[in-house]
């Protein structure tokens, strides 16, 4: 057990004694590492960085994949960039085999910063840069093509539905228009498309007819009253009342003259002529008054008769329309609902169709190139200092181990 114990003091003494050998090994291996680094062909690395600033649901292949899987957008895009289809395109562009891309093509995803770094290593710098450019273009094409296919397919599938909905709407509108042309009544929004306006119109016309009948009965009463009093002189008429007073005076003077003179005397004859003249004047005034009354009554009667005839015709027509209106309004409401339903269906399907068309024409790529493809300034395998330091350290450790065992 004691032989397995390492004494650091003894090791240090051995190292001090053989330090030239140890240093020779360290320097030698470092020089060899430098020579190897100088001899081997340089390897260049091209790189590009993608960033995902936002992901909009329902827009593009990446968003669709996100909706269907639990993976994050960065990993999804990384999968697209690292897909077999992308590698095939790189191999075609660079003239390499797929197996040769395993160590040269690398995709790193950084979820924290929402970035994806594409790297390609090759001894030819132009090949490395070309490979990264092809990877970007292929990833963009894959995303765009798949996104467009989804939207375009949806638009193609919706187009027949839009055409069918448009035909149904046109048929419903034609049916409604034909019915409106044939119907005798018109349902309006003011009566909630029930046809109640026609019943209201009938009631108004019927009330006007009753009022006209009442006026006609009043005129008939006036006519009958006039006929019953045709022998009586009217009173309250200024022209007749004045002649009547003069006639009374003339009768009085004639009676006085007859009491004083004979019938053939000139006084009696003069008083008689005056009385006769006043009687004639009274008859003329009474005839004029009666004629004016007759003319007024007759004119009112004719007007009322005409009005009553018109109102009766209007009431009959309104009654027929009022009886017909509810049924026609019910049919109109049915056709109107059918048209509105067809219109809503067309609008919904057409909106989906137009949205799909817009989405099919829009870009589906929801990522951006943060760093375009570029070459690193120096070859990645030409780190002389690092290689020599590492080789020197390894040589130092190896020579120490060898010196310790040899001394043992």
Least confident of 14-18, 228-232, 398-402: 228-232
- Residue 153 CA to its chain's centroid (Å): 23
- Whether residue 225 contacts residue 293, with contact meaning beta carbons closer than 8 Å, is answered with no
More confident residue, 18 or 129: 129
pLDDT of residue 297: 57
Domain ranges of the chain: 2-157+360-407, 189-357
pLDDT of residue 64: 43
Mean of pLDDT values over 192-215:
85
Q: What's the chain's average pLDDT? A: 75
Looking at the domain that runs over 189-357, which CATH code has it been given?
Answer: 1.10.287.950
pLDDT digits (tens, 9 = 90+) for 217-272: 877 676 666 554 544 555 566 777 787 778 778 777 877 777 667 788 888 788 88
Percent of the chain at pLDDT above 90?
Answer: 14
pLDDT digits (tens, 9 = 90+) for 48-104: 998 876 544 444 444 444 444 444 677 778 888 888 888 999 999 988 888 888 888
- Whether residue 322 contacts residue 240, with contact meaning beta carbons closer than 8 Å, is answered with no
Percent of the chain at pLDDT above 70?
Answer: 63
Mean of pLDDT values over 316-323:
87
Give the whole-angstrom CA distance, residue 166 versus residue 162: 6
pLDDT of residue 163: 93
Element (H, E) at 28: helix 19-39
For 242-305, the DSSP string reads HHHHHHHHHHHHHHHHHHHS-TTSHHHHHHHHHHHHHHHHHHHHHHHHHHHHHHHHHHHHHHHH
Give the whole-angstrom CA distance, residue 26 versus residue 394: 7
């Amino acid at each position: 057990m004691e032989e397995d114990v390492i004494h650091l003091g003894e090791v240090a003494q051995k190292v001090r004694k053989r330090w030239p050998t140890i240093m020779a090994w360290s320097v030698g291996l470092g020089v060899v590492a430098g020579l190897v680094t100088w001899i081997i062909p340089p390897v260049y690395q091209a790189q590009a960085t993608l960033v995902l600033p936002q992901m909009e649901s329902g827009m593009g292949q990446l968003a669709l994949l996100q909706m269907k899987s639990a993976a994050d957008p960065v990993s999804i895009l990384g999968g697209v960039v690292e897909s077999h289809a992308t590698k095939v395109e790189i191999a075609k562009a660079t003239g390499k085999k797929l197996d040769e891309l395993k160590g040269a093509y690398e995709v790193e995803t950084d979820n924290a910063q929402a970035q994806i770094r594409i790297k390609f290593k090759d001894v030819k710098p132009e090949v490395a840069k070309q490979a990264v450019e092809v990877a970007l273009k292929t990833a963009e094409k894959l995303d765009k093509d798949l996104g467009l296919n989804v939207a375009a397919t949806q638009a193609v599938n919706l187009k027949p539905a839009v055409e069918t909905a448009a035909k149904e709407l046109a048929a419903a509108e034609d049916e409604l228009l034909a019915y409106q042309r044939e119907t005798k009544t018109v349902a309006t929004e003011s009566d909630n498309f029930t046809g109640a306006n026609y019943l209201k119109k009938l009631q108004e016309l019927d009330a006007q007819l009753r009022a006209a009948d009442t006026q006609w009965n009043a005129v008939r009463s006036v006519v009958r009253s006039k006929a019953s009093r045709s022998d009586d002189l009217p009173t309250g008429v200024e022209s007749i009342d004045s002649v009547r007073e003069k006639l009374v005076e003339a009768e009085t003077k004639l009676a006085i003259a007859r009491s004083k003179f004979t019938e053939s005397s000139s006084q009696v004859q003069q008083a008689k002529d005056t009385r006769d003249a006043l009687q004639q004047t009274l008859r003329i005034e009474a005839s004029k008054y009666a004629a004016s009354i007759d003319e007024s009554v007759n004119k009112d009667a004719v007007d009322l008769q005409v009005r009553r005839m018109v109102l009766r015709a209007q009431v009959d027509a309104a009654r027929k329309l009022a009886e017909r209106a509810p049924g026609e309004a019910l049919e109109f409401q049915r056709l109107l609902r059918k048209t509105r339903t067809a219109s809503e269906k067309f609008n919904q399907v057409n909106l989906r169709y137009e949205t799909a068309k817009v989405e099919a024409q829009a870009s589906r790529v929801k990522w951006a190139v943060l760093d375009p493809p570029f070459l690193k300034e120096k070859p990645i395998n030409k780190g002389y200092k690092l290689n020599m330091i590492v080789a020197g350290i390894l040589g130092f450790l190896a020579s120490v181990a060898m010196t310790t065992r040899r001394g043992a």
